Amino acid sequence: MRVVSTPLQELALTNCAYCSPSDMSRYRRPKYEDAMALVNGILVLTLRYPFTTLLASFVQPTGSLALNAYQRRNVKVSVGDPISVESFDPLSVSRMTVVSVELDTLMKNKKSSDQVDARNLSKELTKRFKGQVFSVGQKAPFEYLGTNYSFHVISMLLDGQLENAGSTQGLLAPDTHFQFETAGNSGFKISNQLGGQSTNIFKGKDLNFQKLGIGGLDAEFQDIFRRAFASRVFPPHIIAKLGIPHVKGLLLFGPPGTGKTLIARQIGKMLNGREPKVVNGPEVLSKFVGETEKNVRDLFADAENDQKTRGDQSDLHIIIFDEIDAICKTRGSTRDGTGVHDSIVNQLLTKIDGVEALNNILLIGMTNRKDLLDEALLRPGRMEVQIEIGLPDEKGRFQILSIHSNKMKENSFLSADVDLKELASKTKNFSGAELEGLVKSATSFALNRQVSAADLSKEIVEDNIKVTMDDFKSALDEVKPAFGAAINTLEMCRLNGMLNCGERHAHIQRTVMTFVEQVRKSERTPLLTCLLEGPGGSGKTALAATIGIESGFPFIKIVSAENMIGLQESTKCGMITKVFEDAYKSPLSIIILDDIERLLEFVDIGPRFSNVILQTILVLLKRSPPKGRKLLVIGTSSLVRVLESMSLLDAFNVHLNVPQLKPADMKQVLKELNVFNPADIDNAVTALDEEIPIKRLLMLIEMAAQGGDEGANVYKGDHKIELAHFFEIVGDHIVFRN
């Protein structure tokens, strides 16, 4: 047959080829009668693409086949060219379940309406093209609401199997579902589209975090899923009816090593579709003018093109910013003279929540310093979901230890005596990274037993490798948490241990321990402050350290002036504030403010003190911890009159006086130390003052012990202090000061 143009414009928009009745009769064969009836009398002819062919008596002369411009372009022929035609059985073609098409306007200078309703358009296309056969790659024109469009078949789902090869053909049925995309320069968007990939953004039917290597973060993951992904599981038209846009930003913050980067990395593995873009904050920076801003724009380029092309059906584009505080500092805080950091924040805000805001992105930022970020970045509509990834609790630590020891357990390298629950209880305030380091350290002890430094060529027997509980205990001595209880520092505050100094001291210790239990158990006491005041050397710091050690709280820190020698006021305030901020990250915390007058830099001459530090301590003592966090603050002071004059005394809920030792208390201490013969204790006490601080008494005993026989160790009971020598030390001209 010879190709001619379609005689009428309305016929050109039907996707049909036309021929004369005499030509059509040549193809009427008995075996096609039933097929023709099933497709409403339409007979399909095979060219490069199968076109439905209708009778058209006005097509002259005989032997001509009328094709529109798109059809001629599809089969690569021109008007007047010869073309071979043969019969085609439509019943041999599978029905299309889903067909994905790309829409575009025929008149590029004429823009259609801003949005095209997908459901109405699907009904119209089904009505017009029902019963026709289409191929992947085929293009066809049509008219809709006064505008001429074209659609390009991208892919189709035939009987449950996706096909996108050029030879694939499918029959458009009444129940065929359309998935629409738009061409890049089409100028309109698809709305109200049903189904799509947004309903299947996750791999698998359930999310098993432990299989992903994530432990102790179940609650945090539930929050992340609820805020950032739950809305994306529903079809776009339901979310459009709700009128709520998707969350576009997610900030993960918390101490180092708690799993922020791991979460972001595994989120990418959980999702179908596009790989997340991972960007380290400093990588965005460039020394060239404007290049940094361009780097930020390039991160969003794919998402912009996808949204323009596919509208609501666009894939989710995830951009992960590690160390986001490096580039999104508070505007105006940097003084480098370039203004680059401010420009980065401005560019990022424009892309997330600007005039042409994207709805197909999720920006995940991670930082240890949330306080450094620009506040405009954290408001709703931007990085509105802020999840604190804190230190794992005991259940979380057990999960993490199980994950990291799972391989050695499967391969019989883990000894049966290893109790992970016991290890979880002993690793308070360990981060996830530190727990992984603990397992590595324990493994190194086990491997070291199989290696001889004298003979490295010795054959290693695999069956002899066992990681035991003793290996983990050795690892606990080697791996210490960077965040949490400073037990070693507290032990240094009571070198002589906690002596029995009589009933008065014991009563004070019991009282403070009741405060510990109150903070631990009471839901109405998130913050409790207690001041231990008394003469210098009366044992206040040792008592506070003992309370901290015996409390078992995961976070215990002591704030002492000895760690701030030579520092400026602002630096000292920052150090004190950081201790409190760290305490807020732990469920139970104790902070010891030791020798408060020294922290305040108080001296009698002047008088002089630091008002900046004073105001900082006043604010921190009255600031309640976040929800779910509890804090006990213990202060010590030898100058309570000074604290009262500064209005600092009223900031503490409870004041307890730690007294000096009276004779009965001195006897108790000497009996416990066992450095005198029992008959000499009463005489030794008579040589002392009526009241004496415990610190001075211990110093006198130590001096008397060292002045005796050389090499004698009175504390082991080998020798006793001679009473005469003790009297000499006490009555000597040495003046003791605390």
Tell me the backbone φ, ψ of residue 208, rounded to 5 degrees: -100, 105
The Cα 554–Cα 255 span in angstroms is 15
The Cα 47–Cα 595 span in angstroms is 95
The continuous run of DSSP H or E covering 170 comes out as: strand 169-171
Residues belonging to the chain: 738
Q: Pick the catalytic residue from 261, 541, 546, 636.
A: 541
What's the half-sphere exposure (Cβ side, CA atoms, 13 Å) at 346? 11
**Strand 527-533 to strand 277-280: parallel, antiparallel, or no bridges (unpaired)?**
unpaired
Q: Pick the catalytic residue from 189, 428, 540, 585.
A: 540
Question: 650 catalytic, yes or no?
Answer: no
Question: 695 catalytic, yes or no?
Answer: yes
Q: Pick the catalytic residue from 595, 616, 636, 665.
A: 595
C-alpha distance from residue 56 to each of 18, 24, 106, 697 (Å): 6, 9, 26, 121
636: three-class secondary structure by DSSP: strand
Question: 622 catalytic, yes or no?
Answer: yes
Assigned token pair, 86:
């043969």
C-alpha distance from residue 512 to each of 632, 634, 653, 658, 738 (Å): 10, 9, 12, 12, 25
The Cα 117–Cα 194 span in angstroms is 11
Assigned token pair, 590:
């104790």
**Residue for token digits 């001096």?**
703
Q: Pick the catalytic residue from 306, 325, 353, 594.
A: 594
C-alpha distance from residue 216 to each of 205, 328, 391, 395, 628 (Å): 21, 29, 9, 7, 17
CB burial of residue 264 (10 Å; 0-12, 13-18, 19+): buried
The Cα 555–Cα 414 span in angstroms is 31
In this structure, what DSSP letter does residue 228 have?
I
Q: Pick the catalytic residue from 139, 260, 572, 695.
A: 695
Q: Pick the catalytic residue from 622, 650, 709, 718.
A: 622
Question: 540 catalytic, yes or no?
Answer: yes
Question: 402 Cβ partners below 8 Å, 6+ apart?
Answer: 210, 215, 420
CA torsion, ordered 143, 145, 146, 147, to nearest 10 deg: -60
694-706 and 723-730 helices cross at what angle (nearest 10)?
A: 120
Task: Give the active site residues.
Answer: 540-541, 594-595, 622, 695
